[in-house]
Amino acid sequence: MEGFEPIIIAFVCNWCTYTAADLAGTSRLPYPKNVRLIRVMCTGMVDPQYIIKAFLEGADGVLVSGCHPGDCHYISGNFKARRRIKLLKEILPQFGFNQERLILTWIGASDGIQFSEIMRDLVSQIKALGPSQAKLKMVI
Amino acid sequence: MAITAKIGVNEQDVLGALRKFFEDILKIEDIKAILVPQHLPMKNMVMPTLVADPDHLHGVDPLAPAFPMNAAKIVSRLTRKPMGAKIAAVMRPCEIRAFVELVKLKQGSTDEVVIIGIDCLGAYQNKDYARFIEQHGDTSSVIFYQHIMDGHGGQIGGIDLAPACKACEYRVAANADVLIGLYGIDVNDQILIQAQTDVGQDLLAQLDLAEINEPAARQGAVADVIEKCAAYRDEMIAKTREVTESLEKMTAYFAGCVNCYNCRVACPVCYCKECVFVTDVFNHDPSQYLRWANRKGIIKMPTDTLFYHMTRLAHMSTACVGCGQCSNACPNDISVMELFRTIAQDTQKSFDYEAGRSFEEDPPMSVFREDEFAEVVGITN
Ligand code: SF4
Ligand code: SF4
Ligand code: FES
């Protein structure tokens, strides 16, 4: 897919992954501009609807990233998020969205280096999948 | 030992025997009313009725192949708060299964209701039932169950069972207090009555029923129907997967959808009090539509059709009981049930859950374990 620059919508937890992104920034660690961060207070507040909307609007990938198990500031938000991701990975393929386009990761507040690495891996994974059909075809 | 008994049928009057059984239940001191499907006096349509007076059971007909709505919604309405009295409710298996889901979502309670489950012979879609009853009048239900009991299936005079019923393997009620058995029984002679819980046992103990052993033919007869339905279901699911396997095909599948949301109004397990799709969240600013149209060159109006169906799947597919009321309610003949059952099979399986199976199993989205689903975490390649 020559010249394909995916758009990835990332819902990141304020307390960890967002802080890690900040750390990556202050440490001058670059990460691909394909990833558009949306800061949320916890992965537990990411309604499946947000993810579905992003895909239907043509996002090539969606990332949800929060605190490591045991570190969620609201105790269990990330465990609930994990179930919702599991659920969506069952539903998305029937609508033609490869389940690999939806990614869940745990990136802690001090993981600035990991953040920039994971974002690079993420972009290459999505690039390999090619552009989302929702971008190319009319969606009702 | 649970009570297994029979009610006798005189002169092949099966409905009369059932009516008498319901009258007897209603005469029990602590049963103040009974919810039962009944032909309405003003029009022949069959609707759930709440009857407090045994003299008002003339039109009782739980065998009518009519299923205007899933009565789980009614029982939920009657039990969401204490009524101060006990009632009995005659329900089809899919209605009980939907009610189980609602109870777990705290939208109903079993405290004051005795659930009477009846073997389900299947039903027609609403518009087909209206035609059927027009053709056969008062004898329509008798013609129907005789046809089924004689092994000829549900198709009569070009009218066939709803696809949901053809694909339904839950023909015998689980989680009922009392079971009314028809399969494998010579219903022109007797009807099987079985207690499945202590509540049911107490109820039957207050009636003067002749105890019998379960007729030997029953297990086999039940297994036969289930096998046929399961085969239809598997074929239906395979076909549905094929016709919806890409975004393009899925878009074609829903091309006739007008976002009327009837399917979610009819759905017994669409549990939200207010659906987000009818709130102002989706009453977008007029200029927003123009921006979308500008971005894509063309948008279909009303917008958000797939968004609606996918969101509904995310919210309730783990609770879908496959009752088919969504398809029944669709003004544009979209095969909603087919798709929802297909995806529900995946989502329920992935959480090792089965809608309506048990009052004890927690709905998958209401719980979690610390150590699970590691496979959905991380970058895959
Ligand atoms: S989605 Fe359709 S088949 Fe499933 S429970 Fe709701 S109305 Fe019944
Ligand atoms: S009932 Fe039919 S037309 Fe109405 S929203 Fe559901 S699928 Fe669309
Ligand atoms: S606070 Fe970070 S995932 Fe819940």
How many residues are present in chain A? 140
B282 touches chain A (CB under 8 A): no
pTM here is 0.95
Best of B257, B300, B309, B313 to mutate for ligand 2, by most ligand atoms within 8 A of CB? B257
Nearest ligand atom owner, CA of A12: 3
Q: What is the per-residue pLDDT across A95-138, written as a single tens digit (0 to 9) for each?
A: 999 999 999 999 999 999 999 999 999 999 999 999 999 988 88
Q: Which strands make up the sheet holding B113-118, listed edge to edge? A: B46-51, B31-39, B86-91, B113-118, B178-181, B190-195, B4-8, B210-211
Note whether B150 and B208 are same-domain residues: yes
Chain B residues inside the 8 Å CB shell of A103: 378-380
Last residue of some domain: B193, B217, B241? B217
Best of B236, B321, B339 to mutate for ligand 1, by most ligand atoms within 8 A of CB? B321
Give me the residue from A87, A139, A140 closest to B347, CB to CB. Answer: A87
Chain B residues inside the 8 Å CB shell of A121: 379, 381
In a domain? residue B227: no
In a domain? residue B228: no
Q: Find out whether B236 and B341 touch, Cβ atoms under 8 Å.
A: yes
In the three-class reduction of DSSP (H, G, I as helix; E, B as strand; rest coil), residue B226 is classed as helix
> Of ligand 2's atoms, which has the minimum distance to the CA of residue B258?
3
Q: Which token pair is B117? A: 């489950």
Q: What is the per-residue pLDDT across A6-37, written as a single tens digit (0 to 9) for each?
A: 999 999 999 999 999 999 999 999 999 999 99
Whether the pLDDT of residue A58 is over 60: the answer is yes
Domain limits, chain A: 8-139
Give the count of domains, chain B. 2
Last residue of some domain: B217, B246, B270? B217
CA–centroid distance, residue A45 to ligand 3 (Å): 9
A139 touches chain B (CB under 8 A): yes
Per-residue pLDDT of chain B (381 residues; tens, 9 = 90+): 588 999 999 999 999 999 999 999 999 999 999 999 999 988 788 999 999 999 999 999 999 999 899 999 999 999 999 999 999 999 999 999 999 999 999 999 999 999 999 999 999 999 999 999 999 988 999 999 999 998 899 999 999 999 999 999 999 999 999 999 999 999 999 999 999 999 999 999 999 899 999 999 999 999 999 999 999 999 999 999 999 999 999 999 999 999 999 999 999 999 998 999 999 999 999 999 999 999 889 999 999 999 999 999 999 999 999 999 999 999 999 999 999 999 999 999 999 999 999 999 999 999 999 999 999 999 875
Last residue of some domain: B217, B250, B267? B217
Are residues B346 and A91, on separate chains, in Cβ contact within 8 Å?
A: yes
Q: Find out whether B167 and B232 touch, Cβ atoms under 8 Å.
A: yes
In a domain? residue B223: no
Note whether B243 and B210 are same-domain residues: no
β-strands B113-118, B178-181 pairing: parallel
Note whether B359 and B249 are same-domain residues: yes
B250 touches chain A (CB under 8 A): yes
In a domain? residue B159: yes
In a domain? residue B267: yes
Note whether B202 and B254 are same-domain residues: no
Per the listing, tokens 């938000």 go with A77
Note whether B241 and B98 are same-domain residues: no
Binding-face residues of A in 29-58 toward B, CB within 8 A: 48-49, 52-53, 56
Nearest ligand atom owner, CA of A42: 3
Q: Tell me which residue has its CA closest to atom 5 in ligand 1.
A: B320
Are residues B248 and A86, on separate chains, in Cβ contact within 8 Å?
A: no
- ipTM at complex level: 0.95
Q: Tell me which residue has its CA closest to atom 7 in ligand 2.
A: B257
Note whether B83 and B189 are same-domain residues: yes
Residues with CB under 6 A from ligand 1: B 266-269, 320-326, 336-337, 340
Measured from the CB, is residue B330 less than 6 Å from ligand 2? yes
Note whether B314 and B191 are same-domain residues: no
- A23-61 residues labelled b (16+ CB within 10 A) or e (exposed): bbeeeebebbebbebeebebbbebebbbbbbbbbbbbbb
Note whether B185 and B259 are same-domain residues: no
Q: Domain limits at B186? A: 4-217
What is d(CA B72, CA B268) in angstroms, rounded to the nearest whole number?
A: 6
In a domain? residue B226: no
CA–centroid distance, residue B320 to ligand 1 (Å): 5
B247 touches chain A (CB under 8 A): yes
Note whether B46 and B165 are same-domain residues: yes
Whether the pLDDT of residue A42 is over 60: the answer is yes
Q: Which token pair is B33? A: 């009313």
Domain A8-139 falls under CATH 3.30.1380 = no
What is d(CA B263, CA B334) in angstroms, rounded to the nearest whole number?
A: 10
**Residue of chain A whose Cα is closest to the Cα of B257:** A140
